[in-house]
Chain A
Amino acid sequence: MTPEIDGIELVRLPGAVPAWRASVDANAWLAACAAVARGGGRLGALWASDERDRGSGFTLRALLVAYEGLICLELPLPPQAPEYPDLAPVFPCAARMQRAAYDLLGVRAAAPDGRTTDTRGWLRHGAWQPDAFPLRRDVPLATRLPAGDARYAFVTVEGDGVHEIPVGPVHAGTIEPGHFRFSIVGERVLRLEQRLGYKHKGVEKRFESMTLADGARLAGRVSGDSTVAYAWAYAMALEGMAGARPSRRALWLRALLLERERIANHLGDLGYLGNDGGLAFGLAQFSRLKEDLLRANARAFGHRYLMDRVVPGGVACDVDAACAQQLIAEGERLEDELRTLRAIYYDHAGLQDRCITCGRLTPRTAARLGVVGLAARASGHAIDARAYPGHAPYDELPPSVASHRNGDVAARIVVRFEEAFESLRLQRLMLQRLPEGALSTGVTQPAAGAFGIGWIEGWRGEVLVALEAGAGGTVRRCHPHDPSWQNWPALEYAVIGNIVPDFPLINKSFNLSYAGQDL
């Protein structure tokens, strides 16, 4: 069913997920976004590309997630002073994406009616100057741009007894770099402001130097903990534009890998959540279970984190009957262990005391911010790209979507437990009924300018890859989008009113990717 937006003609994009595209002008751009928002839709991603070598200017794209599927809106912008209407009043999560698009390409969001737009750099920091836009096509890949000014105007909170705690970019634990600026009174957080972009290493520029086939490997390294989700999204985008159809067996194996990635990450998080709540026992137990799973991955699929196992056209691994039996038996043991540990977590008064009502993200705030994935499901929004809009093979293996209404750390723990059990159930089904078929089918070279979209529910949330082919089988433009873009701002809300020592626990309960959003 094609979605209907007044005055816009949507053209179906070929591929595994229901998606349409339309080129619009600035007025229609805003009107369409507002219409989708009114209909309960969300902003999936926003990015720009340089089209000046084709005799036009720039193109801004917004991926909207509507009831019927995905809508990719395209807004052509002039080569000189490219400006477009600010989307942040409609979709607040657009703000950081727009700032990133400016830093990389120089396309500027302008507020229509005298409202102000946040124009601070997001990815830029001091690595390049305000008039340099490194993702423009006339900037060569191996350029060392002159350094710019790294200063950043944090929002200051004033009042009696208010003071600031700056944290990062190098944090106290083994985690990724980012800066958190807490404004606090006593030990209570009044405001948290995040500054990210420290890991920006030019992934999108790197894609443009690669062939479509090689790009799959880089896609699998946008955020290492979600390598299966990204590799699948990339493959889905490429297969869509090339008209390739992987066999049922290949798709089932991809889903098997994706569910194992989900289980592994949930096990890791459940361990650290116990640890940050003062229950070191939990970390020891869950990290043992995670290691068992990773070792089984290495044995069965040849890589602990399943990197490069999903390839365009299919998969680079297989499961025989003996291996399937072993994985089923291990899955059953893991389920038993999880039941034991869940009972301990749910009975542990100290842990419950730390987690219940801590770091609450209300369903209303989650909806307003366009939060996705696990965090959305723990705040009352049962959205899951596997179930809706859905794609093969999940039409044959419909997942039961876990959700919770409380939106606190405890809710995010509950959702993780439920999802781990559900993934284990799906894994058992897949291994028992794995269909026959080729592991890989050929992907013909798509024509220059072909465009495709991949959309996969990773363990953290929806992963998008938007891919455009260049001449001779190269990547012209690839935009990978991590669910962390939408969920980082939600963390700023979730910590308000909590005490500073609870921040690590709240942060861990979201466990967002820095690499995935910094690119």
Chain B
Amino acid sequence: MYKLLRQIARCGIRTEPPPLPDASLYQLAGRLNDDVLALLGRGLAIRHVDAGSCNGCELEIHGVNNPYYNLEGLGIKFVASPRHADLLLVTGPVSRNMEQALRRTYDATPAPKLVVAIGDCGCDGGIFGEGYASCGRVANVIPVDVAVPGCPPTPAAIIQGILTAVSTGAKA
């Protein structure tokens, strides 16, 4: 126990300040108004759905909760069920074998059902594109509020996309 506590004390706090929202990432106009945001603050529940990625984006989504980015420190946490979620974080492309599961997840999510598409493949199908087994970008299957490009996007870019989705959409 001593070693463990010593290690924690030695490391200190590594968390860095989060990025600001970026209105250029919007796919749909910001759907939240100031009243809603005042009520929610930044408390937000996220459900991640991998709809067919190469798993590179998942590595960076894991990264947003490491001590440097510490997304939970902003009151934003990942939840186990879409029924508990305000926002879906979807990586793609959407495979045809995941199309129905993604639609059902979206249907199970209560309003406002914010959707953030992650990565080049989520944004436009990426290198996999559309084909017999791929529906391409996430917006081909469910409505997308914010799309974050990158292969994979960095944790900071993912956090920026999430914060953009919970801003009102006014240009910063």
Q: Mark B89-106, 1 if CB is under 8 A from A, else 0.
A: 000010111101100010
* Contact status A206-B131, CB under 8 Å: yes
Q: A170 and B105: CB pair below 8 A?
A: yes
Are B4 and A281 closer than 8 Å at their CB atoms?
yes
Are B101 and A224 interface neighbours, CB within 8 A? no
Q: Is the CB of A143 within 8 A of B131?
A: yes
**Interfacial chain B residues near A198, Cβ < 8 Å:** 52, 95, 97-98, 101
A84 lies within 8 A of chain B by Cβ:
no
How many angstroms between the C-alpha atoms of A413 and B165 in the bound complex?
Answer: 39
In the complex, the answer to whether A203 meets B132 with C-beta atoms within 8 Å is: no
Q: Of B55, B78, B132, which one neighbours A514 at CB under 8 angstroms?
A: B55
Q: In the complex, how many residue pairs between chain A and chain B have their CB atoms under 8 Å apart?
A: 161
The CA of A281 and the CA of B14, in the complex, are separated in Å by 14
Cβ–Cβ contact B8 & A199, under 8 A? no
The contact of B128 among A203, A223, A288, A347, by CB within 8 Å, is: A203
Q: Are A305 and B152 in contact (CB under 8 A)?
A: yes
| Contact between chains at B98 and A199 (CB < 8 Å) | yes
Q: Name the A residues within 8 Å of B66 (CB-CB).
A: 284, 287-288, 290-291
Closest CB-CB distance, A228 to chain B, in whole Å? 12
Given the known inter-chain contacts A200-B95, A221-B56, A287-B67, please indicate yes or no for A134 contacting B133, CB distance below 8 A. yes
B8 to A281, Cβ gap below 8 A? yes
Whether B132 and A145, one on each chain, are in contact in the complex, defined by CB atoms closer than 8 angstroms, is: yes
Q: Which residues of B contact A206 (CB under 8 A)?
A: 127-129, 131
Spot the interface stretch: B17-25, B26-34, B35-43, B57-65: B57-65
Q: How far is the CA of A513 from the CA of B52 in the complex (A)?
A: 12
When the two chains form the complex, which single residue of A150, A227, A347 contacts B56, counting CB atoms closer than 8 Å? Answer: A227
Given A344-B3, A515-B53, does the pair A201, B133 have CB atoms closer than 8 Å?
yes
* Given A177-B101, A201-B95, A203-B128, also A268-B59 (CB < 8 A): yes
Whether A205 is near chain B, meaning CB under 8 Å from some CB there, is yes
CB distance from B81 to the nearest CB of A (A): 7
Contacts of A127 in B (CB 8 A): 95-97, 132-133
Chain A interface mostly: loop
Q: How many residues of A contact B (CB 8 A)?
A: 60
> A169 to chain B: which residues have CB within 8 Å?
98, 101
Residue of A nearest to B6 (CB): A340
Decide if B78 touches A340 in the complex (CB within 8 Å).
no
Q: Which residues from B are CB-within-8-Å of A348?
A: 4
> B54 an interface residue at 8 Å Cβ cutoff?
yes
Q: Which residues in A have their C-beta under 8 angstroms from that of B56?
A: 221, 224-225, 227, 305, 307
How long is the Cα–Cα vector from A199 to B52 in the complex, in angstroms?
A: 4
Q: A281: nearest residue on chain B (CB-CB)?
A: B4
Q: Which residues of A contact B58 (CB under 8 A)?
A: 174-176, 224
Q: Is A173 an interface residue (CB 8 A)?
A: yes
Residue pair A200, B133 in contact (C-beta under 8 Å) = yes
Residues of chain B within 8 A of A203, CB atoms compared:
128
Which residues of chain A in 324-352 are interfacial with respect to chain B, using CB atoms and an 8 Å cutoff? 340-341, 343-344, 347-348
Give the interface of A toward B (CB within 8 A): 123, 125-128, 134, 139, 141-145, 150, 169-170, 172-177, 197-203, 205-206, 217-218, 221-225, 227, 268, 281, 284-285, 287-288, 290-291, 294, 304-305, 307, 340-341, 343-344, 347-348, 513-515, 518
16 new A-B contacts, CB < 8 A, other than A201-B52, A288-B14, are: A128-B132, A139-B132, A142-B130, A150-B100, A169-B101, A170-B101, A173-B48, A173-B80, A174-B58, A174-B62, A177-B49, A222-B54, A224-B53, A224-B57, A225-B56, A304-B154
> Can you list 26 A-B contacts with CB-CB less than 8 angstroms, sorted by A residue number?
A125-B97, A127-B132, A134-B133, A143-B132, A169-B98, A169-B101, A177-B52, A199-B52, A201-B128, A203-B128, A206-B128, A206-B131, A221-B54, A224-B54, A224-B58, A225-B59, A268-B62, A281-B4, A285-B7, A287-B63, A287-B66, A294-B63, A304-B60, A344-B7, A348-B4, A518-B95
